[in-house]
Structure formats: structure tokens, C-alpha cells
Amino acid sequence: MNADPMPGLIAAVQTNCHIADARHAADLTLCTYLLQMREFHRWERGLAFGAALPRDEVGAWIAEREALWADLEEQAFQPLPVTGRAPIDPFDVAAVNALLAPLGLLYGAGLVGAQRPVFFLAERHGQHWREGLEVQIAGRELARGLMAPPAALDSSREPAAIVLRRESLARWGWEKFEAFSLRRSPGSPFQAVVQAYALDDGFDAALPRWLDDFSEAVILHELGEHRAGQRLGPRWAEMRLSLPGRRADLYARALRDHLADLGVTLPTLLDRGAEASIHVWFAGLDGVRELLYPGLKDAYHAWQHGDGGAALRRAARAGQAHFEALAQQALALHRCDGDHAGPAIEALLTAPQGVCGG
């Protein structure tokens, strides 16, 4: 669709993205920050995947962006001008989308981690329903920030909605493929992804199939998140706000991710025989999630060697039971001590006993 009729809206959303980045870009490690800035530069300039990025040009752009952030960091988020009405609160997602739907646009605003907002505006790619949840699918993005999570579960509305950002998914895939191309890892899950989708024959040609498969896996994850949220209840969000810092929140997020994937995503992919999607899932198993369940990759290797998924199914059941119990322990601490429980919850989640032995 033509974005020209709404330049004010696009500018306001992009400004809010800049303000959020100004406040939180420093939370990233230097390596992650530079990788995300490279891809953000590609998006902003409308460059193709793999387009050459001259070091001097990117360096100058980063300096300009950081100067802009310094000017915006203390500003309040802007209300959004939509179709000539009075400006709308940027966190009133339902009201904004009710006005944008006839225009073929989709807006998103939410939190990634405690108190970290993320905004985007995109062309609406599609919409359908799964298990009573609306799945909203974003296509080409018109405004976005440095952090662009591919999907989110919006539990602020009833019924909840799953928001899927296909362009962000595609860029995540390109970043993984670019990194793999620079330093190939024979036998790794991503090598299996490259072979399954013939990525070496051309990323752009392979992207549509890869993107459809990965979108489905992401939707399964968000369905798992919804089920986990129903079991854990609203106190889980309150508990996360009590955590003392980023490290503790990373562990809490990883725990809930495991509940979602071990309960829904992996069992469903195994039932469907979705081999390529299973490789993609394991290619993304890293960081704290891998630390909390190192034995999962042993089960993956058993599946690769033809056990029919038996080890993965056992690992999923064992992991779900382990992380469910760990989550309930964290909630119990919060019930007893409220917002003062943060340090004890961090100690619980990061202790050796928090790791699932499978």
C-alpha cells in the first residue's frame, strides 16, 4: 500500500522507536549492538540482504544515530496522529489498530523485558485465528526500532493476540545465515538448516518457504506462551517487575520460553514430522535457554541419528516438569516477600539446581 497519506503517523512512531532505543540500546552487549545496528542500517536505507556496508558509512551513521538518541532520551513518547482525530496514546494499541485496519496497516507497542518498550508500524500482511487467539501478521515495516522481536503475545486485550512480524523474521534468518557463511560450523543445527532449505543456492530464493515454516513455529511458540501464562497467572508479570536486573529477567524469560516450547512447539513439530523446522528451532537455542537445559542438544543429536524423536519427547516432558516446578518456586517466593523477593528469585533461577538435567 502507499504510505504517503500518513507521513505524520510514520514519523511519530519512528520517533517513539528512537526514544525507546535512546533509553535501552546501552543494555545490549557491544557485539549484539553492532550486529543489530548493521542490520538496522540496511533496513533504514532499504538495502538488500547481503548488500555491502562500507565501514566508514556505517560508522558515520552510528555516530549520527547516537547523537539523535542523546537529544531524545529524556523526551516523553509522542501521541499518535491517526486519520485526523485527536492524537492517541501510543500504548493504546487496540484504538490505533481499529483506525488503521481499513488502511491496511498494523501497529504494535509492547514491552520486551521489564519496562523496555518496542514499537513498530507495518503493512498488514494477514490475519487468522488459532485456538481462540487472533494472529495478526505484519509485512513490510514502515517504522521500527533497533530491537525488532519477530513475534509477541499481546495479553493486554481479551482475547489475547499473537503479533507476527515477517520482515523481522526474515532479517533474523539473514543474520544467522550471514554469520554462518563467515564461519561455517559443520554438524551444527544451522548447517542442517542450510541444507534443508538449500540456502547456499540463494537466500532470496529459499526465503519464502523458510519464512512460512518459521512463521508457523513462532506461532506455535506464542500459543505455548499463552498456555503457560494461563497456568502461571498474572502474578508472573508482577514477579518479573520485582527482579533486580537484566540478568535475572533473562533467566525468567528463558524459563518461560522453555515452558512454551517444551509443552507445545517441539512436540507439535515432532508430531508433524517438520524436520526442517526442528533444525531451525535448535539453531536458535543459545544463550540462557541453552544454559538452563544443555541436555536438549543431546536429544536433538539422537533424533538426527534416527531414534524417531523418542529422546526429544522424553526431554520435552522432563524439561516441562522441571521448569514448571521452578516457576512455581519463584512465584511462591514472590507471594511471601512481594517486591523484596527479587534477589532471592534471581538466586533461585541462576543456581545450579535451576538447570534441567533432563
pLDDT tens by residue, 216-235: 999 999 999 999 999 999 99
126 & 274 share domain: no
Model pLDDT, residue 58: 93
Q: How many separate domains does the chain show?
A: 2
Is residue 346 one of the residues assigned to a domain?
yes
User: Nearest-CA neighbor of 5 among 79, 77, 81, 78?
Assistant: 81
Is residue 142 one of the residues assigned to a domain?
yes
Is residue 140 one of the residues assigned to a domain?
yes
157 & 247 share domain: no
Q: What is the pTM of this model?
A: 0.90
What is the bridge-based pairing of β-strands 133-144 and 117-130? antiparallel
Is residue 177 one of the residues assigned to a domain?
no
Model pLDDT, residue 26: 85
141 & 205 share domain: no
Domain residues for the domain of 234 are 184-354
The sheet with strand 151-154 has its strands ordered as: 105-111, 117-130, 133-144, 161-165, 151-154
Strand partners, 161: 134, 154
269 within 8 A of 232, measured Cβ to Cβ: no
pLDDT tens by residue, 197-211: 999 999 999 999 999
Stretches where the chain sits below pLDDT 50 are 1-5
111 & 206 share domain: no
